[in-house]
Amino acid sequence: MKSVPQILTIQSHVVFGHAGNAAAVFPMQRLGVNVWPLNTVQFSNHTQYKQWKGLVLPPKQIIELTEGIDAIGELANCDAILSGYLGTAEQGREILEAVKHIKSLNPKAIYLCDPVMGHPEKGCVVAPEVSDFLLKEAVSAADYLSPNQLELDSFAGRTPTSLTDCVEMAKKLLTYGPKAIMVKHLNYPGKKPEHFEMLLVTEKETWHIQRPLLAFPKQPVGVGDLTSGIFLSRLVLGNTLLEAFEFCAAAVHEVLLETQKQGSYELELVAAQDRIAHPRIKFTANKL
């Protein structure tokens, strides 16, 4: 019998609500993986409330805690690493050291980098040095990269002119080392406003998927964290890239439907937990 997959997820945590690990860990567990959450920051709530309390945790704890897991003989059992929101660039460098060490123990381990960058218009606060680290250092170490449109633009140094241009921008990122790029949220000239679109790009294939864009008074936070966590979980559970891509589109949509139904600003993960594991709907990706 195959053992339950193990994922180390290194990103932010909020005490109230759902962002970072607080958005990803429970859904990943509900899908059937063991999750090892390691927090880069611990805040009272996510930063789009415009006020929060908390702190950035010391970078050295990342290596210390992974060394502690290694000391009890478990680090080699890590199947995948997910990184997200960083408080400092030094935290990112510690993560890359942890990834390197895990891969030396388990060469089959995979690393998905969710390159969270600052978006002032969204109220997402990220130190400028973190964006520089992601652009210059993290991309070449990642097996998979999951930017949103704004982050893809930052990597490319420009905005797209079309969907085809988005594909070319993602393909350029592949030349730095990742095996696949999943763009979690597309926004380009000519995109239909009623659609939410995503892109999956590998060296040989490109897939595009769309689902209805649900209306909210304020768009919930943590959707990208949820998306990356579900995508990686399905990969370590044995899905192909395409299967994981289609599944996460459906599962995330189910969470948003429940969140809309309850009129909530925070993702309704607990209420939607059965639909995360068993989505009622399916979105089929189109090959471009």
User: In 3-state terms, what secondary structure has residue 254?
Assistant: helix
Q: Is 184 annotated as a binding residue?
A: yes
pLDDT in the model for residue 118: 65
Q: Which domain range does residue 121 map to?
A: 6-287
Sign of CA dihedral 272, 48, 39, 2: positive
Q: At what angle do helices 21-30 and 223-236 cross, to 10 degrees?
A: 30
Angle, CA of 180, 186 and 188, to the nearest 5°: 125
Q: Is 214 annotated as a binding residue?
A: yes
Q: Is 200 annotated as a binding residue?
A: no
Instruction: List, in sequence order, every beta strand (DSSP E) within the chain.
Output: 6-14, 34-43, 54-56, 80-83, 110-113, 144-145, 180-183, 195-202, 206-212, 286-287
pTM for the whole structure: 0.95
Q: Is 211 annotated as a binding residue?
A: yes
Q: Give the pLDDT confidence of 134-143 residue by residue, as tens digits.
A: 988 999 999 9
Structure-block tokens of residue 176: 């730095």
Q: Cβ(93)–Cβ(103) under 8 Å?
A: no
| 116 in a structural domain | yes
Query: What is the arithmetic mean of pLDDT over 252-280?
Result: 97
Q: Is 47 annotated as a binding residue?
A: yes
pLDDT in the model for residue 1: 44
Q: Is 114 annotated as a binding residue?
A: yes
Q: Is 42 annotated as a binding residue?
A: no
Structure-block tokens of residue 227: 């998306």
| Domain at 270, CATH number | 3.40.1190.20
| 1 in a structural domain | no
| 198 in a structural domain | yes
Instruction: Name the strand (E) or helix (H) holding 250.
Output: helix 241-261
Average pLDDT, the chain: 94
Query: What is the arithmetic mean of pLDDT over 135-152?
Result: 94
Q: Is 212 annotated as a binding residue?
A: yes
Q: Most distant CA pair in the chain: distance in Å?
A: 54
Q: Give the pLDDT confidence of 78-115 residue by residue, as tens digits.
A: 999 999 988 899 999 999 999 999 999 999 999 999 99
Spatial CA neighbour of 56 closest among 114, 9, 11: 11
State how many domains the chain has. Answer: 1
| 115 in a structural domain | yes
pLDDT in the model for residue 87: 85
